[in-house]
């Protein structure tokens, strides 16, 4: 991916955890690859926790290097990468400080990208301050999640940002959309005659989408206790993955064609009646347990968490899409912290054959299954039945693998790297449009409201397990189970 697009990348929250772990490592990988970033491109870090450029670069040396790829760091590439970086010390609460930022970037070439790796409470003040010094022209702005606390607050942020930046200037980032297997899902569906005819209610029994984490809330207790898994993961990541899985073939891969089809899926989600939430939604909270031999504390004892907290750390949902392609097919969404493994995957269970002369095993739903692993070890695996060697017609499950790191010799591009390059080059397809975000919030809100009003606490589950038993029971009602339970 060669580019001549000159740019000035302004990173707000330049000393924050996201900048250290994801954004600067991604920019370094693009720089090291050669040809992905214009030689004239500059990175301007904005923070108040460093005194000057030298101190900031020392901070980058200490905190970014551990998060670059496992390959040994090429010191020449690292030195030339640091040469791209400038630093401006700013108090984001003081609009007058933005004059210093304007002076620092006004003579730098190319499109300006403003990446807001800050808390959402700072999004609107930063945008107003940028406009006050004329930096909202010839610019793109990247907004990290969470964008609001509910539909009303999300609309308030979008309204305020939209007064300063046009919609085509706003890049609402969801890093799961930048993952290689998600891109390959589009290629698999729309580039192969093999799958598209099967991608519908007549042939699909059910679909599971899981994002599971072994980690707890770490140092984010204050934030997480006011957010919860439904806001933190379902409203954005899981519903975005669902829309990619279920969307109709777009007219083309341009940004609005893809996002139009995703929006149609989100608008077709069957509204959840508050009276049915207990049947189709499970919320849980982890208690103490053991993960990989290590004892971990209960959520309620984590730093920054209220001892009597009713915040959910686990969500499982049964979702239906009311359209011709998917009517009657259950989509099961699941996410949680302190689960048994770190995994993100999409599981498409195809229907069993209608009649088999080969025995009962060929009639088992899920015998044909597509598993798209997003993390770790990104891959696509297709399961089918084959005859076991030997006497008799005994069937066994076998699988065909596409392991990207083995098949493609060139290194894979990390999600943030792909998305940052898309921002610099003005490609919007993998970013969330405002109407998508509104549709997602509108569908989620009845669940939020019901849980907030409920006197029932989240269902407990031991850390190191796969969540409350109620999540398995919900699938059992449809004669199916989560993938790891079958294995």
Residue 232 annotated in ligand binding:
yes
CB 292 within 8 Å of CB 261: no
Candidates 237, 251, 287, 355; catalytic one: 237
CB 439 within 8 Å of CB 267: yes
Residue 179 annotated in ligand binding:
yes
DSSP character for 253?
S
> CA–CA separation, 425 vs 111, rounded Å?
9
- Retrieve residue 243's tokens: 């829309």
CB 365 within 8 Å of CB 356: no
Residue 341 annotated in ligand binding:
no
Residue 213 annotated in ligand binding:
yes
CB 427 within 8 Å of CB 255: yes
Residue 433 annotated in ligand binding:
no
CB 424 within 8 Å of CB 148: no
**What DSSP line would sit under 51-117, residue for residue?**
SSHHHHHHHHHHHTGGGS-SSPP-HHHHHHHHTTEEEEE--TT-GGGHHHHHHHHTTS-SEEEEEE-
Residue 459 annotated in ligand binding:
no
Q: Write down how long the chain is.
A: 487
> CA–CA separation, 325 vs 14, rounded Å?
45
**How many CA atoms, within 13 angstroms, populate the side-chain half-sphere of residue 59?**
22
Nearest CA to 33 out of 378, 426, 411, 407 is that of 411
Catalytic site residue 67? Answer: no
Residue 54 annotated in ligand binding:
no
Mark the binding-site residues, compressed into ranges.
Answer: 48, 91-92, 145, 175, 179, 213, 232, 337
Mark the binding-site residues for NADP(+), compressed into ranges.
Answer: 48, 91-92, 145
Mark the binding-site residues for substrate, compressed into ranges.
Answer: 175, 179, 213, 232, 337
Residues serving a catalytic function are: 237
């Amino acid at each position: 991916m060669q580019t001549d697009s000159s740019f000035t990348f302004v990173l707000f929250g330049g000393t924050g955890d996201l900048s250290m772990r994801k954004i600067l490592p991604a920019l370094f990988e693009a720089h090291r690859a050669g040809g992905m970033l214009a030689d004239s491109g500059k990175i301007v870090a904005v923070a108040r926790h460093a005194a000057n450029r030298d101190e900031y670069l020392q901070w980058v040396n200490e905190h970014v290097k551990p998060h670059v790829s496992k390959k040994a760091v090429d010191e020449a590439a690292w030195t030339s990468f640091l040469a791209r970086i400038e630093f401006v010390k700013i108090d984001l609460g003081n609009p007058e400080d933005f004059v210093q930022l304007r002076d620092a970037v006004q003579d730098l070439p190319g499109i300006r990208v403003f990446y807001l790796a800050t808390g959402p409470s700072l999004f609107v003040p930063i945008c107003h301050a940028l406009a006050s010094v004329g930096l909202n022209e010839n610019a793109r702005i990247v907004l990290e999640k969470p964008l609001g606390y509910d539909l009303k607050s999300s609309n308030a942020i979008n309204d305020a940002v939209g007064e300063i930046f046009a919609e085509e200037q706003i890049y609402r980032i969801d890093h799961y959309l930048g993952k290689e297997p998600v891109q390959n899902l589009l290629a698999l569906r729309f580039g192969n005659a093999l799958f598209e005819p099967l991608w519908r209610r007549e042939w699909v029994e059910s679909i599971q989408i899981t994002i599971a984490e072994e980690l707890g809330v770490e140092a984010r207790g204050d934030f997480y206790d006011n957010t919860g898994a439904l806001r933190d993961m379902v409203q954005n990541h899981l519903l975005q993955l669902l829309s990619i899985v279920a969307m109709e073939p777009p007219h083309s891969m341009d940004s609005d064609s893809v996002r139009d089809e995703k929006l149609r899926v989100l608008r077709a989600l069957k509204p959840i009646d508050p009276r049915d939430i207990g049947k189709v939604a499970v919320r849980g909270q982890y208690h103490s347990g053991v993960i990989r031999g290590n004892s971990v504390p209960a959520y309620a004892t984590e730093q920054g968490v209220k001892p009597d907290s009713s915040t959910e750390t686990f969500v499982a949902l049964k979702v239906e899409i009311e359209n011709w392609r998917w009517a009657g097919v259950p989509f099961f969404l699941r996410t949680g912290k302190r689960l048994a493994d770190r995994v993100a995957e999409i599981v498409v269970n195809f229907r069993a054959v209608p009649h088999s002369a080969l025995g009962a095993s060929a009639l088992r739903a899920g015998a044909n299954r597509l598993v798209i692993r997003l993390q770790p070890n990104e891959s696509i695996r297709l399961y089918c039945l084959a005859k076991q060697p030997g006497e008799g017609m005994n069937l066994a499950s076998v699988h065909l693998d596409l392991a990207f790191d083995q098949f493609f010799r060139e290194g894979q591009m990390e999600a943030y790297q792909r998305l940052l390059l898309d921002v610099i080059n003005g490609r919007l397809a993998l970013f969330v449009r405002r109407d998508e975000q509104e549709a997602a919030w509108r569908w989620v809100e009845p669940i939020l409201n019901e849980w907030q009003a409920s006197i029932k606490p989240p269902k407990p589950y031991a850390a190191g397990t796969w969540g409350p038993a109620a999540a398995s029971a919900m699938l059992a009602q449809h004669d199916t189970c989560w993938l790891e339970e079958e294995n």
